Chains A and B, each alone.
Chain A
Amino acid sequence: MPPQRMTSLPHEDWVSSISCQEPGLFLTGSYDGNIRLFDYSQTLLQTIPVQSAAITSVAYVKKTNKDTQLVATASHDLTAKLTEVSISPSDPSPSRVLASLHLHTGPLTAISTNAAGSHLLTSSTDELIGLWDTSIPDYDEVPPDDASSERKKRRKLDDSQESRAKRKAPISVLKSHTARVSKAVFTKDNTNAVSAGFDSTVRTWDVENGVCTNTITAPAKPFLDIALPVTGQTILAASTDRTVSQYDLRAASSSAATPSIASLPHPATPSCVAASPVGSGSSEHQLVTGAYDGSVRLWDLRSEKSAVTSFKVWEGRAGGKKILSIDWAFGMVGIGGEGGVEVWRIGEGDRLQSS
């Protein structure tokens, strides 16, 4: 069944991140600093101004209540934030920014959680990876910076409006990358983390001890995005040399350059990659990639030559069509980028009805 275009969610600004992990909802983070919540019927449920600068990544953390979700956002303003968002369409209670995560000195690139929602990983251009827990502290763990009156003013504003946005400090900092870290994700067993960055390495971390246990070096492949397939033994990494490569995480780190298991060539920069979700009807070997030419490609890792299928998003839009984010869950692929958000259905459609 070919991919079908389901809905289009227009945005004023570029959408840097989209998450479809919660059934019935689309969560988007935009460059205007807002996160937006849509339901499947294309209606905008909420627009929450979370960050003072562009949001680069959003992620569901966990459900704090029946109707509220904890959402993590990473931003250019050097902080990540934990926001409680009401997801019940009937009772849209005002959302609250519970905590801001202070570690990085460069724009954050990604934020991700483990499956249980107990920990967060942030990555940044300052070459650091922050490991955080998701508990909301009672007091500021980081003293407020008294640098500029502007910041003070803004903080006062924040304080007055969204009371008690606690300044949170990381549990540990994972230092080993030598260039911008593009993304850091937890593996399925929650004890390890995998990160990739512009230093052309994929690093495996022992999260508890905060040490790098394995390094996969790929020459001249600055990685833009990584995704963990269902099996968890390999990793998919999109790099600016127009390939999406699959690496074996168990590969020895001794060799200077680790060969990739599979390499999927793209005609444009693949900016984002998403593996087929757990338990969906689709094969575990499949993945979708979004590229700067506005094409989403569905690949099967067993055939590296060409994509299984591909489709263009934002047909008819003038100007750039860069895809910045892609997420695949419940048979739906959410695509965020320059033209807003489009949702396409891939694979068996019955999954949608069942959820």
Chain B
Amino acid sequence: MQSEDEDADAGQESDGEQVDEFPEIDTRSDSEEEEEEDVDVEEGDEDDEEDEDEEDEDESEDEFSDASIHPFPKAKTVVSGITGQPKRVYPPIEPDYDSDSSTEDIPNRVGNVPMHWYDDLPHIGYNINGKKVLRPARGDELDKFLKTVEDPETWTSAFDEKAQMDKPLTTDELDLIRRLQENENPDAGYNPYEPTVEWFTGKGKEEIMPLSAAPEPKRRWVPSKWEKQKVMKIVRAIRQGRIIPNKPKTASDKPQFFNIWAEEPSNQPPPLPAPKPRLPTHAESYNPPEEYLPTEEEKKSWEETDREDREREYLPQKFPALRLVPAYNQFIQERFQRQLDLYLAPRVTRTKLQIDPNSLVPKLPSPSSLKPFPVYKSLEVIHDKGRTRSVGISPDGTWAASGDENGVVSVWEVVVGKVVKSWKFKGKVGAVEWCPRIDVCFLVVATEEQLHFLTPPNLPTSVLVATQAALAPAQLPPAPTTPSPVKWQSISAAASTSDSPILTINLPSNSGMPKQVAWHRRGDYLATVASGEGQGGVWIHQISRRHSQAPFKKVKGAVQFVLFHPTKPHFFVATQRYVRIYNLAEQKLLKTLQPGTRWISSMDVHPLGDHLIVGGYDRKLCWFDLELSDKPYKILRYHSRAIRSLHFHPTYPLFASSSDDGSIQIFHARVYNDLMTDPLIVPLKILRGHQVREGLGVLQVKWVSKQPWLVSAGADGHVAVWCS
């Protein structure tokens, strides 16, 4: 066999030599031809050998082996006599039995099945005619041994399962086994040492000259300036520390381990499943019960309504059989709706906060636990003409005085409502206030540029004497050195009656109507705010000295409201937008409060003196903690129209606000002595009952001093008493 290989190699070498001389394509075909011829020669030899060796074997086997070796007829290259070119000539097919494999007698036709199926059977399969192929006789171990001794071919034979007998291997098969054993290429015809085909190199194919004859430019060997600049930039950055080189890997030697189980398993819920489509109901059946079928009217109304307004998307229909159901014409629409549903379906579970909405509402005690407070209108006193602008309550809470714009001031019993005395003045009555002193009893009525001091009837003698002595003393105090524009006129005590004012203070002319009278708690000072121009219109009158003075030379803005502090010598002045607190003793400004309202209408100070409420025409009610800040502690906006009046109850923890919307609101306002506790403000009650006349509602509210009762004066001329 080696000799044959060497022959082949020699042939190839000879071929290679030939290639140099001949055109390339021809060389290749030549070499193939040569090899094939070689193979042919070998095979022919083998055949001869086999034939010689195995004479006992039947012909079919030989033919089989031949067929395996020569699957195709061999072509011979001859030089054509016509063209002079070499051509392949195949041998003619001989139509005998050898040429066609279909006629081969393959004894066992069971195919590629495990042959152990036939282990227990006498036959080993079937031939092409369906006849059993009987198991050939197999010798025992002794026969095998004898065979190895006698037959030199035994070691080159192998057991054929199909035939259930030993078959000698062919030379080709032996050669294949040998090649596999020696790790050679199993293909005998493969030549690993093909001659080099020089396509582009070699003799006669060298390039004669380079592409350009230009000399090498200088820049090829001069270092680049720009590169250097860029490098220097980086170098400078590194030096300055702007570029930090990678950290040296300290733990580079040690492999890094990650405990992948250390992490807590995710407690995230799995992603939400898509919302399930609604299941069909009986009405969607193709054969629904009769009660699901729509009547004619229902059908008609369903067809008439718009698609969006329909209660359901379909009309139940009845078909006698499923095969009669037509195609679903809403299919696309339904799929589209489903896609929309999926598109809008939530992707994440939003953890719903389980918060009771009521728990967010601040914990306020229920109003019923904060009784008593006024809840109903007990009685009314009616001023026939003109709106009642002001009301005053006597300090003992027995009497009330109300003044209207017609100039009528009435004094009446709070619990009965019977007017026991009334006075008539020229012009409107702007304010009515009762003197807070207990030992004397009189009321102040503010009309145009005048203050009238009236004594109610039926006073005890001692009180009457004290009142007369206070208002019309027998010996007038010395007149002030500087003449004041305010004139005090009084009737002598002997001549005074309760029918006419015992004392009248004439305010300077053009001062307008005093719209507010504020008493100091001791009852000696009273402040009036006039609506007219000039010096802010604020006057402070002192009864005992019969002296009036204007405390402010100049006030920024029109003064709306003034108040005396209940305990300290402080004076609150509300202009349109700000509340200023003055110390009257030291004559200086203490504080300016900024309620943030556009136009302050009224205010009141808590009886303890630390809290102030300010109401505005812009419906806001601001609660100030005077200790705390000059900004409101709380802003209450409960009225729908301008706030007209505010009043703190002198003893009960209540305050009331009245508004142009005709309502009165009652608040519980508890103030703690503890500075850390915020005041508690609870809205208690809205009292309705006053009519709104010409955009004006309840113009003033006043508490009855010893009872949780409220007296309100409305623009409708009614003065109402609200009882608990």
Q: Which residue of the partner chain, among B380, B461, B723, contacts A148 with CB atoms under 8 Å?
A: B461
Contacts of A78 on B, CB cut-off 8 Å?
458, 460
Q: Mark B151-179, 1 if CB is under 8 A from A, else 0.
A: 00000000000000000000000000000
A220-B458 in contact (CB<8A) = no
B458-A151 in contact (CB<8A) = no
Contacts of B413 on A, CB cut-off 8 Å?
107
A242-B398 in contact (CB<8A) = no
Q: Which residue of the partner chain, among B380, B417, B463, B494, contacts A105 with CB atoms under 8 Å?
A: B463
Interface of A is mostly: loop
B376: Cβ under 8 A from any A Cβ: yes
Q: Which residue of the partner chain, among A76, A269, A319, contacts B420 with CB atoms under 8 Å?
A: A76
Interface residues of A in 38-61 (CB under 8 A from B): 53-54
Known: A292-B379, A322-B379. Contact between A220 and B724, CB under 8 A? yes
Q: Which residue of the partner chain, among B378, B458, B461, contacts A107 with CB atoms under 8 Å?
A: B458
Interface residues of A in 16-53 (CB under 8 A from B): 16, 31, 53
Q: Which residue of the partner chain, among B376, B417, B464, B707, contacts A222 with CB atoms under 8 Å?
A: B707
For the complex, count residues of A whose C-beta is within 8 A of B: 36
Which residue of chain B has its CB nearest to the CB of A241? B724
B494-A149 in contact (CB<8A) = yes
B494-A145 in contact (CB<8A) = no
B371-A220 in contact (CB<8A) = yes
A240-B724 in contact (CB<8A) = yes
* A220-B708 Cα distance, complex, nearest whole Å: 9
B706-A198 in contact (CB<8A) = yes
Query: How distant is B402 from chain A, measured CB to nearest CB, in Å?
Result: 15
B420-A54 in contact (CB<8A) = yes
Query: How distant is B687 from chain A, measured CB to nearest CB, in Å?
Result: 15
Contacts of B458 on A, CB cut-off 8 Å?
53, 76-78, 107
* A164-B660 Cα distance, complex, nearest whole Å: 57
B416: Cβ under 8 A from any A Cβ: yes
Query: How distant is B174 from chain A, measured CB to nearest CB, in Å?
Result: 128
Q: Which residue of the partner chain, among B380, B415, B462, contacts A320 with CB atoms under 8 Å?
A: B380
Contacts of B379 on A, CB cut-off 8 Å?
269, 292, 320, 322
Q: Which residue of the partner chain, among B462, B465, B494, B707, contacts A198 with CB atoms under 8 Å?
A: B707
Contacts of B689 on A, CB cut-off 8 Å?
none
B398-A179 in contact (CB<8A) = no
Contacts of B497 on A, CB cut-off 8 Å?
150
Known: A220-B372, A322-B379. Contact between A179 and B706, CB under 8 A? yes
* A147-B461 Cα distance, complex, nearest whole Å: 6
Q: Mark A51-81, 1 if CB is under 8 A from B, else 0.
A: 0011000000000000000000000111000
Contacts of A332 on B, CB cut-off 8 Å?
none
Contacts of B382 on A, CB cut-off 8 Å?
319-320
Q: Mark A147-167, 1 if CB is under 8 A from B, else 0.
A: 111110000000000000000
* A319-B379 Cα distance, complex, nearest whole Å: 11
* A153-B418 Cα distance, complex, nearest whole Å: 27
B42: Cβ under 8 A from any A Cβ: no
B54: Cβ under 8 A from any A Cβ: no
Contacts of B494 on A, CB cut-off 8 Å?
148-149
Known: A148-B464, A150-B497, A220-B372. Contact between A322 and B417, CB under 8 A? yes
B378-A241 in contact (CB<8A) = no
* A14-B413 Cα distance, complex, nearest whole Å: 13
B418-A31 in contact (CB<8A) = yes
* A238-B465 Cα distance, complex, nearest whole Å: 37
* A188-B398 Cα distance, complex, nearest whole Å: 31
Which residue of chain B has its CB nearest to the CB of A125? B398
Interface of B is mostly: loop
* A303-B516 Cα distance, complex, nearest whole Å: 51
* A224-B378 Cα distance, complex, nearest whole Å: 12
B508: Cβ under 8 A from any A Cβ: no
B457-A53 in contact (CB<8A) = yes
Q: Which residue of the partner chain, among A16, A54, A106, contacts B398 with CB atoms under 8 Å?
A: A106
Contacts of B378 on A, CB cut-off 8 Å?
240, 268-269, 292
A324: Cβ under 8 A from any B Cβ: yes
A241-B723 in contact (CB<8A) = yes
A322-B416 in contact (CB<8A) = yes
Query: How distant is B97 from chain A, measured CB to nearest CB, in Å?
Result: 130
A180: Cβ under 8 A from any B Cβ: yes
Contacts of B706 on A, CB cut-off 8 Å?
179, 198
Contacts of A324 on B, CB cut-off 8 Å?
416
B457, B463, B706, B723 pick with most chain A CB within 10 angstroms: B723
Query: How distant is B365 from chain A, measured CB to nearest CB, in Å?
Result: 16
B57: Cβ under 8 A from any A Cβ: no
Contacts of B457 on A, CB cut-off 8 Å?
53, 76
B371, B382, B416 pick with most chain A CB within 10 angstroms: B416
Contacts of B463 on A, CB cut-off 8 Å?
105
Interface residues of A in 111-156 (CB under 8 A from B): 125, 145, 147-151
B382, B420, B458 pick with most chain A CB within 10 angstroms: B458
A147-B464 in contact (CB<8A) = yes
Q: Mark B688-724, 1 if CB is under 8 A from A, else 0.
A: 0000000000000000001111000000000000011
Interface residues of B in 446-483 (CB under 8 A from A): 457-458, 460-465
Interface residues of A in 174-228 (CB under 8 A from B): 179-180, 198, 219-220, 222, 224
Contacts of A268 on B, CB cut-off 8 Å?
376, 378
* A77-B723 Cα distance, complex, nearest whole Å: 26
Which residue of chain B has its CB nearest to the CB of A220? B372
Which residue of chain B has its CB nearest to the CB of A77? B458
B396: Cβ under 8 A from any A Cβ: yes
* A322-B721 Cα distance, complex, nearest whole Å: 13
Contacts of B708 on A, CB cut-off 8 Å?
220
Interface residues of A in 283-333 (CB under 8 A from B): 292, 319-320, 322, 324
Query: How distant is A86 from chain B, measured CB to nearest CB, in Å?
Result: 29
* A235-B724 Cα distance, complex, nearest whole Å: 22
Contacts of B465 on A, CB cut-off 8 Å?
147-148
B371-A125 in contact (CB<8A) = no
Contacts of A180 on B, CB cut-off 8 Å?
398
Which residue of chain B has its CB nearest to the CB of A180? B398
Q: Which residue of the partner chain, among B461, B707, B723, contacts A151 with CB atoms under 8 Å?
A: B461
* A319-B384 Cα distance, complex, nearest whole Å: 11
Contacts of A240 on B, CB cut-off 8 Å?
378, 415, 707, 709, 723-724
Contacts of B396 on A, CB cut-off 8 Å?
106, 125
Query: How distant is A256 from chain B, measured CB to nearest CB, in Å?
Result: 15
Contacts of A14 on B, CB cut-off 8 Å?
418
Which residue of chain A has its CB nearest to the CB of B381? A320
Contacts of B415 on A, CB cut-off 8 Å?
224, 240
Interface residues of B in 357-382 (CB under 8 A from A): 371-372, 376, 378-380, 382
* A296-B352 Cα distance, complex, nearest whole Å: 59
Query: How distant is B590 from chain A, measured CB to nearest CB, in Å?
Result: 38
* A320-B416 Cα distance, complex, nearest whole Å: 11
Which residue of chain A has its CB nearest to the CB of B417? A322
Contacts of B420 on A, CB cut-off 8 Å?
31, 53-54, 76
* A307-B420 Cα distance, complex, nearest whole Å: 34
Interface residues of B in 475-509 (CB under 8 A from A): 494, 497
Interface residues of B in 92-127 (CB under 8 A from A): none
Query: How distant is A22 from chain B, measured CB to nearest CB, in Å?
Result: 26
* A161-B396 Cα distance, complex, nearest whole Å: 36
Which residue of chain B has its CB nearest to the CB of A269? B378
Q: Which residue of the partner chain, among A105, A219, A242, A319, contacts B460 with CB atoms under 8 Å?
A: A105
Contacts of A220 on B, CB cut-off 8 Å?
371-372, 708, 724
Sample of 27 A–B contacts (CB below 8 Å): A14-B418, A16-B416, A16-B418, A53-B457, A77-B458, A78-B458, A78-B460, A105-B462, A106-B396, A107-B413, A125-B398, A145-B461, A147-B461, A147-B462, A148-B464, A149-B494, A219-B371, A220-B371, A220-B372, A222-B707, A240-B378, A240-B707, A240-B709, A241-B723, A241-B724, A242-B723, A269-B723
Q: Which 8 A-B pairs have the closest CB atoms?
A: A147-B461, A220-B372, A105-B460, A145-B461, A240-B723, A269-B378, A76-B458, A53-B458
Additional A-B contacts beyond A53-B458, A269-B723 (8; CB < 8 A): A106-B396, A107-B398, A148-B464, A149-B494, A151-B461, A240-B415, A240-B709, A268-B378
